[in-house]
Structure 1
Amino acid sequence: MTTQTGPGTGTRAQPTATITEGPRGVPLLGNLPAFGKNPLAFFEQLRARGDMVRWRFGRGPALFIADPDTIGELLTEVERTFDQPDLGIAFRTLLGNGVVVAKGADWRRRRSLVQPSVRPKQVRSYAATMSECAVALADRWTDGQRVDVKKEMAALTQLIAVRTIFGVDTAADAEAIGRAMDIAQKEIGAEFSGIGALLPDWVPTPGRARVKRATAVIDAEVSRVVARHRAGDTDRPDLLSRLLAARDETGAPLSDREIRDETVTLYIGGHETTSSTLVWAWYLLSRHPRVRAALTEELDRVLADHEPGHDDYASLPYAQAVVKETLRLYPTIWLITGIAKEGATLGGTPVPAGTRVWSSQWATHRDPRWYGDAEAFRPERWLTDEDGEPAERIPEYAWFPFGGGPRVCLGTRFALVEAVLVLAVLARRHHLDVAADEIRPVPSLTLQPDREVRATVRTRT
């Protein structure tokens, strides 16, 4: 068996879409109170009303879309008929004007400079670091040990990020960066779904002040590490060295500010998203013994007596399927937005300029129209038979945890390889029995568990 190479192969005729009305909001705030109270449930409620639903984000017009074909239009038309939205002062304070935020010609330039550092050839060179860091953690775990899964996975992916981004021998303060990043992403999520989303940039709030202080910690550490790289040998295999050596078509390098912005963006992509995915994977595996048994059978059979490396990635289709199914049920990035330009359409329906269009991975990934037994954890849906036929024909853009189109996440390959290799190293040696209490997702900058995830280590003999 092999995993499907894409999110699905289903094709469907797309009639002209019709827009339905969403729930009535309140004066001035629109539907913001309901959205802020529980964004995931709010998007599911909109999905139940139709594939294109009109609502109000404050006083501004908003449109929610749930159909994969329409989502694909939004993702592929960004930069042409849809624009990147302003996600607020807190978001910009942390990410600056990195490739995720930049627009137009600036975005194209940044993407051309950053993309070579995360191509498959480079990801292959980072795989050994991923596996080595995971092996060190597996060696420390002992049978019967109680661990905080969130802290363990955060520390592990921080170490991998620091080594692959800054270099193995760089004494970067991963713990300080990690604490600052946790504070920043929590406050960004709180502002984005609360009244702060409607406040002008100049209005001071306690949350914005906390983001500013956390960002100052991150900036100081990144600046120190960049200075060390500039003073020494930049011909090294880490991401930062590749960014420092990059040149655009005019021969110009990235400025210090651009280096800072792209480094922070890569750090978030290489640490925050993978850490969250692994936490949710352990939670799901603990609650589904059948899946855990199938995973360990594959690991025992394929890896035998060696630790996994990049060459093993393609030989672990079930481990890949576990990661993809985890990202379906608990997508780290849980929403995307775009601003309609003049002449924008979706599903053949005109979208007025200035309309903010929203789509939620959480809502679409759990839509029973695209997935059989949509709420169930079934990695087998991502496998194919010996003839290459998929177990389930899932429409393209019914699964989009990394976005899609021209602005698809540059670190997609990095994140998938890291999650599979880390999971393979640890699950081959240990099981984690997570406490039976249900853990609920909290949408902040990424989708996080609502509390500590405590587990007991069960070492495999």
Structure 2
Amino acid sequence: MAVHTGPDARARDGERPTGTSAQKPAAFVEGPRGVPLLGNLPAFGKDPLAFFEQLRDRGDFVRWRFGRSHALFIAHPDNIGELLTEVERTFDQPDLGIAFRTLLGNGVVVAKGADWRRKRSLVQPSVRPKQVRSYAATMAECAVDLADRWTDGERIDVKREMAALTQLIAVRTIFGVDTAADAESIGRAMDVAQKEIGAEFSGIGALLPDWVPTPGRARIKRATAVIDAEVSRIVSRHRDGDTERPDLLSRLLAARDETGARLSDREIRDETVTLYIGGHETTSSTLVWAWHLLSRNPRVRDALTEELDRVLADHEPGYDDYASLTYTQAVVKETLRLYPTIWLITGLAKEGATIGGTPVPVGTRVWSSQWATHRDPRWYGDPEAFRPERWLTADREEGEGAGPAEGTEAIPEYAWFPFGGGPRVCLGTRFALVEAVLVLAVLARRFHLDVTADGIRPVPSLTLQPDRDVLATVRARG
């Protein structure tokens, strides 16, 4: 596979260089000129997605400055794989800022080293395929309840409907509770928190010391206090109960590490919030973008409903149907390609770090962007097009950064990595994929949604969200 090794005549004429083999040492090229003290932060903050595409079009190894700190952007799947697989060895998990830490604490996404390994070993059993199977019925039941409330010709806000649905699924499967108040209070606070994280991360707040007060930091503290109070109340309810519960929280409360120690109350809080974001925020966003794309691609919508009619016939989908819903899975995967909920990955170079055979100075922050790589024309023909058929012959496990096998497009490993990859791949990958497929199957089997909102743009906050309400008319199928 080819990589860019530096600007040549074609680059100067506006054409991307093709470079040489990825086995040759990488030659880093310079990114756009920044401004004193802030570096490229103003351009990054104005439109992070366009900024990363601009860096990608300069080459596969591009230097830039995040404030006064040295940064390196990588775009080639081979090198993204290096970054993801070498985390915990030659790359470290960087500090993502006080807003991120305020919400997630020191959960498995943030923890490092031995602490990360311990927490991963305690959390992972609760999201293995066997456990996801037990949650699938709840996912489908919640979607059926929503479908029963929709009526032909009704106008809905798709964003609000999908958020409410995935919130309900999350509080049932993660917390084991089933009241609207639980879903609404946590959901509202989470919306505020993720918005403020995005603003902090891409704005001047990214350069401010933790002790500097800002209105945004005050808002995220208030939102986090609401989340903490709800989680504490739910944890107490679980501990006071006399019966064993099948939810994720109960499994975390019962988990023990190799020394026999349990997770502390603070660790329980951090992991449940992390799982909530993975089970609600990412799936909600994916479903909204899926409806948006299906509404604009009648051919794909027809192919999807043909599969649902053929595979499901007269029954609602369940976990055992997941493997047979290959086109529905492809719709979800193609949605995640075009609108990846997690839109960037970053790591901090440690002693001995290399990328593409070239040493990376200690302390350099290395960035990659799912948004930019997923839309790279080298890996995807007509990259802006919504073509689920790209994935119909995929034969790798979900979340492994894999594309289709022989027969469609030869997509390299790590050209698709919406859930990251390597040792720190998202633990909730299968949960999120099964949830998105089952919910889409339940709803699309009964309805088409004609989305009428035009000019919807993605906003990169904690996850990639639409910038406005997504309005649609519900159309009942025959």
Q: Report TM bin, short chain.
A: over 0.9
Decide whether the 8 Å contact of 1:95 with 1:264 is kept in 2: yes
Query: Which amino acid counterpart does residue 454 of structure 1 have in structure 2?
Result: L
Give the alignment partner of residue 173 of structure 2, picking from 155, 164, 172: 164
SS at match of 2:449: strand
Query: Which amino acid counterpart does residue 434 of structure 2 have in structure 1?
Result: V
**Equivalent position of 2:477 in the other structure:** 460
Greater CA deviation, 387-396 or 433-442?
A: 387-396
1:262-282 C-alpha deviation (Å, 9 max, x unpaired): 000000000000000000000
**Equivalent position of 1:8 in the other structure:** none
1:184-220 C-alpha deviation (Å, 9 max, x unpaired): 0000000000000000000000000000000000000
Decide whether the 8 Å contact of 1:381 with 1:390 is kept in 2: no
**Equivalent position of 1:203 in the other structure:** 212
Decide whether the 8 Å contact of 1:234 with 1:244 is kept in 2: no
**Equivalent position of 1:82 in the other structure:** 91
Residue 336 in 1 paired to residue 345 in 2? Answer: yes
**Equivalent position of 1:129 in the other structure:** 138
Query: Which amino acid counterpart does residue 408 of structure 1 have in structure 2?
Result: V
Aligned-pair distance for 1:172? 5.9
Q: Share of identical aligned residues, percent? A: 89
Tell me the distance in 2 between the aligned counterparts of 1:110 and 1:174. Answer: 26
Tell me the distance in 1 between the aligned counterparts of 2:169 and 2:407. Answer: 33
Runs (4 or more) in structure 1 with deviation over 3 Å come to 168-172, 385-390
Counterparts of 1:4-43 in structure 2 under 5 Å?
Answer: 14-43=23-52
**Equivalent position of 1:57 in the other structure:** 66
SS at match of 1:369: coil
Query: Which amino acid counterpart does residue 458 of structure 2 have in structure 1?
Result: P
Residue 402 in 1 paired to residue 419 in 2? Answer: yes
1:285-330 C-alpha deviation (Å, 9 max, x unpaired): 0000000000000000000000000000000000000000000000
**Equivalent position of 2:306 in the other structure:** 297
**Structure-2 change in CA distance of 1:240 and 1:436 (3 Å):** closer
Aligned-pair distance for 1:413? 0.2
**Equivalent position of 1:237 in the other structure:** 246
Query: Which amino acid counterpart does residue 135 of structure 1 have in structure 2?
Result: V
Tell me the distance in 2 between the aligned counterparts of 1:222 and 1:172. Answer: 13
Aligned-pair distance for 1:233? 3.4
Aligned-pair distance for 1:390? 3.7
Give the alignment partner of residue 295 of structure 2, picking from 286, 309, 331: 286
SS at match of 2:146: helix
1:136-195 C-alpha deviation (Å, 9 max, x unpaired): 000000000000000000000000000001115577611011000000000000000000
**Equivalent position of 1:324 in the other structure:** 333
1:310-363 C-alpha deviation (Å, 9 max, x unpaired): 000000000000000000000000001000001100010110000000000000
Tell me the distance in 2 between the aligned counterparts of 1:444 and 1:87. Answer: 13
SS at match of 2:211: coil
Tell me the distance in 1 between the aligned counterparts of 2:267 and 2:243. Answer: 17
Which ranges of structure 1 fall in alignment gaps of 5 or more residues? 1-11
TM-score (normalizing by structure 2): 0.93
Aligned-pair distance for 1:436? 5.1
Tell me the distance in 2 between the aligned counterparts of 1:385 and 1:325. Answer: 12
Give the alignment partner of residue 415 of structure 1, picking from 420, 432, 435: 432
RMSD (CA atoms): 1.4
Which ranges of structure 2 fall in alignment gaps of 5 or more residues? 1-20, 396-403
The higher-RCO structure (CA 8 Å, 6+ apart) is: 1
Query: Which amino acid counterpart does residue 389 of structure 2 have in structure 1?
Result: E
**Equivalent position of 1:442 in the other structure:** 459
Tell me the distance in 2 between the aligned counterparts of 1:389 and 1:351. Answer: 35
Tell me the distance in 1 between the aligned counterparts of 2:296 and 2:410. Answer: 26
How many residue pairs match? The answer is: 450
Greater CA deviation, 322-331 or 431-440?
A: 431-440
Tell me the distance in 2 between the aligned counterparts of 1:320 and 1:139. Answer: 24
Tell me the distance in 2 between the aligned counterparts of 1:70 and 1:388. Answer: 21
Tell me the distance in 2 between the aligned counterparts of 1:438 and 1:371. Answer: 24
Counterparts of 1:129-208 in structure 2 under 5 Å?
Answer: 129-169=138-178, 173-208=182-217
Decide whether the 8 Å contact of 1:14 with 1:69 is kept in 2: no
TM-score (normalizing by structure 1): 0.96
Query: Which amino acid counterpart does residue 277 of structure 1 have in structure 2?
Result: T
Query: Which amino acid counterpart does residue 49 of structure 2 have in structure 1?
Result: L
